[in-house]
A and B are shown apart, each in its own frame.
Chain A
């Protein structure tokens, strides 16, 4: 430091250099060069102490002025740089790639159904996939020789035979087995859904699987009616598939319900709105209630079962039920 005027010169140099800077990077490097802790301004300020008394005072004032001017200069330059992007951006490029996983379509449908039914006050319950003959069949009014057992081809567990050769345990053929357990274990009023895997001894093809998912729902209360059953399913399907969805009941037979109905639905966006089978429904048979220790004179019960995989297949356009248990990431990554 020889002369307090050096400050003025420094400021002028900085201004010129800044005017030539093209990119925010260059400007930022200049800021460090001039204003940084080891920058040019700092070096000059450190040199003040070598001046004589009179110049020191003058240089101090000049130094402060230069510092203020430089700071203002670089601040302005910085604002300018944010206001004016340096290079154009191609917004049609996809950008940074994020990798999230995918829920299985069956889970998506289960969650939707749970949302709908919990919204209607249904508790979610769960039970074992291996059921005993009582809960899967007998409690549901299906005696060992009942022809209704033919409706469900059953796998049996080896080693669970009694003396007459009848099997006691089986991979459940219907989630209604869990409902039977629930009815026996709880006091009315009851309002619950249960869902999960069920098993049928069926040769597999595009529309049959030895295992699939089923949702079972039940209400036991003093005043429920067959009309409530229809209203409930209508509301649920409208929530699940859209307000323009319709349902209809057709006569059917299930040993554990009386009256019984097949549920069909029609949704304009699915297969042109043709009627498609959704599941079975009915009022639980008085004997089923009695088997669970519930007095059918005091309580009535509605129940239904839906095939979740079938809903998922129709909703998403999956044409082969075997896809549910043979993971193919090319399919699953679309969810």
Chain B
């Protein structure tokens, strides 16, 4: 909420300036975002619009602006709502705006514009960017902006917490400022009595959704532009003055935080104002000129014939107050937050009023706010105060909380003297009664957020000072355990980084276009309200995003090798009803090369490394060729370990779609892998006697399996064959040849040549009898 410092000081006479107030409130209430003043606008002058006409050649307007000299300036402007007589900031040619824009004299579609009129945002003096900034009527024409508006224009933007509707008005923030600076807090005195029931108008409320409805009736008012002081209050915080009656309703909303709605009584049919549920298909034109259909279950304000507005959101144009209005109906009501929230969402219409009701205003604001508004209208527009009805459902009982000051100390871990606790509560409007160790605290009506002792602890802590909370460490001991799958994930990361792979993270949300291009399945859990089509599904695999990353990175590398550990999702099977999608933690290792390359072999090696280091013996692993469209036929294998499908390894079939020559992937399911990891690992002590090493070379026929060869070798090398080394493939005389280093050894003695020769002969004979040729 944008807060005027000058306005705030009317209720809390703080001596400090904008910056100091902002800093203090940041530490006691909530963050103050931006402090704005006009002191930086020394080059901007106040102008008065003398005439304004349509631009002859464009959908623009041409204004003649008086800036103090005899000559009027011609300025082209877009704003269609600007009127003659309004005062506006004029940027003279040769001036640079805060945004860096340099303003000069220039021709705009045939009219020479001698300067520029700006919005508050363009001048970095406020939030409003809806049109030209209309200055208060007493801003001296020709004066520089800082001297015309002075410190009275200083504002800051306070982010109001979701539980503090009382801070949606200057009074509520003044109350906090007064407490923070230890100065008295003053509310306006009210002249209008709190009710005057007898009068022509009746009010009818629905069963739910409206707790209180006050209707004021003023007759014979003279509506006109507001006086300068009121215009200044509104323009300073970014609201445009309209006419006195409407300005008063806005002023009181910004003062108390309680929205009001003024209606022209002569445009209301009959003598009953009712709050009712919308009928199906009912439409109305709201004050912004838009025709809107009432959502199901929304509340309307209506007379006997027609809807007069969306309750708590925006009034209808058909009862709008203008300068010709003589009879005023003033609505000041309390609407339930849930209903306002739903209707505002359904309409896509969020207003200053709905934002306040959504937070859950206390119904007790209705009385003072409507009386204040009637006071002001009578003062500014005269007329007769005829009626003030105040209808409410149920009576509000003030909240009482039992507070033990020592309990507060223990909870906060900070001792606040009991006397200080009482003073803090009093400053915020709480009344603590009782003495000794147990108090009874009455919560003021505007603090709808305070219900429990813990809520009071927070009041005490933030007012005493969060910076005074000591830094202690919790007592007690506990074991820092970690689940096995997370430990495994860490181990895999370390192994892969050691092997030269770089860890990446990719988005969990994917879109149909990418899925299509990569050939990965579409049937995935879908987001009901995605940001865009590219973020429509929860990923079923990291693959598509990895392909995208391969393409992106091959722009500056010939080859990329990376991995990701993350969660992937499966759709809920049909017929299972409403259920959470199945989630699995997976590892995906991807190798991509610009040209055709042996990326498959790289990943096969990575899998060997991982299996070895995790202690999964080769004999427990099986590979099964599978065929899936997106992968290269004959180059896609399922990996089973200990009987469980722990992953797959494959060449991607369409690397060209991602501007690559080859892309291979290794996928490992961590949830399954962790289940087959060996519980403990045993070592083999180093041998005491030397081994004998021999190489075995074999010509491999087409479509042969190395695993088969290794099985024959292992079987026939018994009993002294100890290990089979890493095989090497050669092309020898146009044939595929494999060489395997074999290690023979026995315990307690060194093997003789004859023994080894004998075993080698056995191995070679077995290979030959299998029909293969030993080289």
Interface residues of A (CB under 8 A from B): 99-104, 106-107, 111, 114, 117-126, 128-130, 132, 145, 147-148, 150-151, 155-162, 167-169, 171, 189, 191, 197, 199, 201-204, 210-211, 219, 221, 223-228, 230-232, 234-235, 248-253, 255, 258-262, 283, 285-286, 300, 302, 324-330, 332-333
Least CB distance from A295 to B in Å reads 14
The A-contacting residues of B in range 312-363, CB under 8 angstroms, are 337-338, 341-342, 358-360
What sequence of 0s and 1s flags, for each residue 376-420 of chain B, a beta carbon within 8 Å of any chain A beta carbon? 000000000000000000000000000000000011111000000
A120-B473, A150-B162, A169-B581 given; 14 more Cβ-contact pairs under 8 Å: A101-B562, A117-B480, A118-B482, A130-B580, A197-B508, A227-B413, A227-B471, A234-B471, A250-B466, A251-B462, A253-B164, A255-B163, A286-B454, A326-B552
A332 to B552, alpha carbons, bound, how many Å? 14
Least CB distance from B59 to A in Å reads 30
Chain A residues lying within 8 Å of B132, measured Cβ to Cβ, are none
- The reply to whether A151 and B162 contact each other, CB–CB distance below 8 Å, is yes
A126 to B671, alpha carbons, bound, how many Å? 13
Least CB distance from B533 to A in Å reads 13
Chain B residues lying within 8 Å of A158, measured Cβ to Cβ, are 525-528
The residue that A227 contacts in the complex, of B27, B30, B472, B566, with Cβ under 8 A, is B472
- The reply to whether B338 and A129 contact each other, CB–CB distance below 8 Å, is no
What sequence of 0s and 1s flags, for each residue 463-501 of chain B, a beta carbon within 8 Å of any chain A beta carbon? 000110111111111111111011000100100111111
A125's nearest neighbour on chain B, judged by CB, is: B483
Ordered by A's residue number, 14 sampled pairs between the chains whose C-beta atoms are within 8 Å are A107-B503, A114-B482, A132-B580, A145-B342, A211-B508, A223-B476, A225-B410, A225-B414, A226-B413, A255-B163, A259-B412, A285-B454, A324-B505, A325-B506
- The reply to whether A101 and B161 contact each other, CB–CB distance below 8 Å, is no
- The reply to whether B553 and A328 contact each other, CB–CB distance below 8 Å, is yes
Report whether over half of chain A's contact residues are helix, strand or loop; otherwise say mixed. Answer: mixed
Least CB distance from A149 to B in Å reads 9
Q: Does B772 contact A (CB under 8 A)?
A: no
Question: Known contacts A204-B531, A251-B29: does B505 contact A104 (CB below 8 Å)?
Answer: yes
Chain B residues lying within 8 Å of A234, measured Cβ to Cβ, are 471
- The reply to whether B469 and A249 contact each other, CB–CB distance below 8 Å, is yes
- The reply to whether A129 and B414 contact each other, CB–CB distance below 8 Å, is no
- The reply to whether A122 and B30 contact each other, CB–CB distance below 8 Å, is no
- The reply to whether B26 and A250 contact each other, CB–CB distance below 8 Å, is yes
A107 to B501, alpha carbons, bound, how many Å? 14
Question: Known contacts A99-B500, A145-B338: does B506 contact A327 (CB below 8 Å)?
Answer: yes
Question: Known contacts A101-B497, A286-B452: does B414 contact A227 (CB below 8 Å)?
Answer: yes
A182 to B506, alpha carbons, bound, how many Å? 27
Chain B residues lying within 8 Å of A167, measured Cβ to Cβ, are 528
A255 to B553, alpha carbons, bound, how many Å? 43
Least CB distance from B44 to A in Å reads 30
Question: Known contacts A128-B580, A259-B458: does B162 contact A232 (CB below 8 Å)?
Answer: no
A130 to B578, alpha carbons, bound, how many Å? 13
Question: Known contacts A226-B461, A227-B413, A258-B452: does B562 contact A327 (CB below 8 Å)?
Answer: yes
B27's nearest neighbour on chain A, judged by CB, is: A250
- The reply to whether A126 and B509 contact each other, CB–CB distance below 8 Å, is no
Chain B residues lying within 8 Å of A285, measured Cβ to Cβ, are 454
Least CB distance from B106 to A in Å reads 33
A100 to B531, alpha carbons, bound, how many Å? 37
A294 to B360, alpha carbons, bound, how many Å? 29
Question: Known contacts A156-B529, A159-B526, A226-B411: does B469 contact A333 (CB below 8 Å)?
Answer: no
The residue that B505 contacts in the complex, of A106, A147, A189, with Cβ under 8 A, is A106
- The reply to whether A230 and B481 contact each other, CB–CB distance below 8 Å, is no
- The reply to whether B162 and A101 contact each other, CB–CB distance below 8 Å, is no
Q: Does B109 contact A (CB under 8 A)?
A: no
Least CB distance from B327 to A in Å reads 37
Which of B500, B503, B552 lies at the interface centre, i.e. has the most chain A CB atoms within 10 A of its CB?
A: B503
A254 to B503, alpha carbons, bound, how many Å? 34
Q: Does B538 contact A (CB under 8 A)?
A: yes
**A-B interface pairs (CB < 8 A), number:** 264
- The reply to whether A201 and B469 contact each other, CB–CB distance below 8 Å, is no
Least CB distance from A133 to B in Å reads 11
Question: Known contacts A155-B529, A157-B528, A251-B29: does B578 contact A100 (CB below 8 Å)?
Answer: no
The residue that B493 contacts in the complex, of A103, A162, A250, with Cβ under 8 A, is A103
A283 to B525, alpha carbons, bound, how many Å? 35
Chain A residues lying within 8 Å of B529, measured Cβ to Cβ, are 155-156, 201
- The reply to whether B30 and A252 contact each other, CB–CB distance below 8 Å, is yes
B345's nearest neighbour on chain A, judged by CB, is: A150
What sequence of 0s and 1s flags, for each residue 450-461 of chain B, a beta carbon within 8 Å of any chain A beta carbon? 001011011001
- The reply to whether A147 and B476 contact each other, CB–CB distance below 8 Å, is no
Chain B residues lying within 8 Å of A302, measured Cβ to Cβ, are 474
Chain B residues lying within 8 Å of A147, measured Cβ to Cβ, are 162-163, 337, 341, 358-360
Chain B residues lying within 8 Å of A155, measured Cβ to Cβ, are 527-530
Q: Does B556 contact A (CB under 8 A)?
A: yes
Question: Known contacts A130-B538, A225-B412, A302-B474: does B528 contact A325 (CB below 8 Å)?
Answer: no
The residue that A126 contacts in the complex, of B483, B549, B562, with Cβ under 8 A, is B483
The residue that A118 contacts in the complex, of B358, B480, B561, with Cβ under 8 A, is B480
Which of B452, B471, B538 lies at the interface centre, i.e. has the most chain A CB atoms within 10 A of its CB?
A: B471
- The reply to whether B498 and A221 contact each other, CB–CB distance below 8 Å, is no
Question: Known contacts A157-B525, A157-B526: does B414 contact A226 (CB below 8 Å)?
Answer: yes
A120 to B472, alpha carbons, bound, how many Å? 13
Question: Known contacts A103-B503, A327-B506: does B535 contact A210 (CB below 8 Å)?
Answer: yes
- The reply to whether A159 and B572 contact each other, CB–CB distance below 8 Å, is yes
The residue that A156 contacts in the complex, of B467, B473, B528, B552, with Cβ under 8 A, is B528
- The reply to whether A121 and B477 contact each other, CB–CB distance below 8 Å, is yes
A168 to B552, alpha carbons, bound, how many Å? 37
A151 to B499, alpha carbons, bound, how many Å? 43
- The reply to whether B561 and A259 contact each other, CB–CB distance below 8 Å, is no
Q: Does B28 contact A (CB under 8 A)?
A: yes
A300 to B29, alpha carbons, bound, how many Å? 24
- The reply to whether B501 and A101 contact each other, CB–CB distance below 8 Å, is yes
Question: Known contacts A124-B480, A328-B552: does B472 contact A225 (CB below 8 Å)?
Answer: yes
